[in-house]
């Protein structure tokens, strides 16, 4: 059984890297379903499976996306001014989503994940392409409520469920007539940022949870709100 699980994980990692490089989805949305199936086979308790699946996928997403973003930048697809516009909103959404997700029961998180997966598939089936212009779209159109709402929503859904920015930001940029190559490049770079931010939030939340349920020395735990050390 151990060898079969290792083989499945190796194949899943290769697939995650492939889809990350081609579509900019980060790979986490590909890995999470496999981890949901594989972790129980390793004896992981059900109430930890979903959190471990999402957290592990996000950590891997940072690695694959960072590498793909460098490659995309070298060939000229990655437009840094466009990408930087989403950075603060994705960080805020990713940290908030990871802290909130750490508090959700595993079964609730799994239901949300399955619902979002179905919604993504349905949206992809009925999605219609948009016209692109040579050299990319107009950067002036990427601003205002559309910019920050898509950025924050990408961070929240990515940290809770694992999908990369291509799922939400991709259609937004396509409507603004950016080419698929530029969309995939920006999504890859932002997926790495999302993975790093969300992983940090899950690590912090996990440390707080461990302090509440273990016999650790209180001095090693992050200070709680309202405590003298936290003021």
Q: Cα(174)–Cα(178) distance, rounded to whole angstroms?
A: 5
DSSP letter string, 125-137: HH-------TT--
Please give the structure tokens belonging to residue 199.
């992983």
Q: What is the pLDDT of residues 70-97, one digit of tens each?
A: 888 898 888 899 999 999 999 999 888 8
For residue 58, give Cα distances in angstroms to 76, 134, 204. 26, 33, 14
Q: Cα(193)–Cα(24) distance, rounded to whole angstroms?
A: 13
Q: Among 12-16, 134-138, 148-152, 169-173, whose mean pLDDT is lowest?
A: 134-138
Q: Cα(213)–Cα(209) distance, rounded to whole angstroms?
A: 6
Please give the structure tokens belonging to residue 155.
């961070």
Please give the structure tokens belonging to residue 165.
């920015």
Contacts for 13-16: CB closer than 8 Å, 24+ residues apart: 13/60, 16/60, 16/61, 16/64
Q: Please tell me whether the overall predicted TM-score, pTM, comes out greater than 0.85 for this model.
A: no
Q: 106 versus 230: which is more confidently predicted?
A: 106
The answer, yes or no, to whether residue 131 has pLDDT greater than 60, is no
Q: Cα(42)–Cα(40) distance, rounded to whole angstroms?
A: 5
Q: Cα(38)–Cα(32) distance, rounded to whole angstroms?
A: 10
């Amino acid at each position: 059984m151990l060898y079969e699980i290792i083989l499945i994980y190796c194949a899943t990692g290769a697939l995650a890297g492939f889809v990350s490089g081609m579509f900019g989805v980060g790979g986490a949305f590909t890995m999470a379903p496999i981890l949901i199936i594989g972790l129980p086979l390793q004896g992981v308790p059900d109430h930890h499976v979903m959190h471990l699946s999402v957290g592990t996928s996000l950590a891997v997403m940072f690695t694959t996306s960072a590498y793909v973003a460098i490659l995309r930048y070298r060939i000229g697809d990655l437009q840094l001014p466009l990408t930087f516009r989403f950075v603060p909103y994705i960080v805020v959404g990713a940290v908030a989503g990871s802290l909130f997700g750490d508090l959700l029961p595993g079964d609730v998180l799994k239901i949300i994940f399955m619902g979002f997966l179905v919604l993504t598939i349905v949206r992809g089936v009925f999605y219609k392409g948009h016209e692109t212009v040579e050299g990319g779209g107009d950067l002036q159109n990427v601003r205002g409520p559309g910019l920050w709402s898509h950025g924050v929503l990408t961070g929240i859904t990515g940290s809770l469920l694992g999908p990369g920015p291509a799922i939400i930001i991709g259609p937004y940029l396509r409507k603004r007539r950016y080419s698929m190559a530029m969309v995939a490049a920006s999504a890859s770079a932002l997926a790495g940022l999302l993975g790093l931010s969300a992983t940090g939030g899950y690590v912090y939340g996990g440390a707080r949870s461990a302090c509440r349920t273990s016999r650790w020395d209180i001095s090693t735990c992050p200070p709680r709100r309202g405590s003298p050390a936290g003021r």
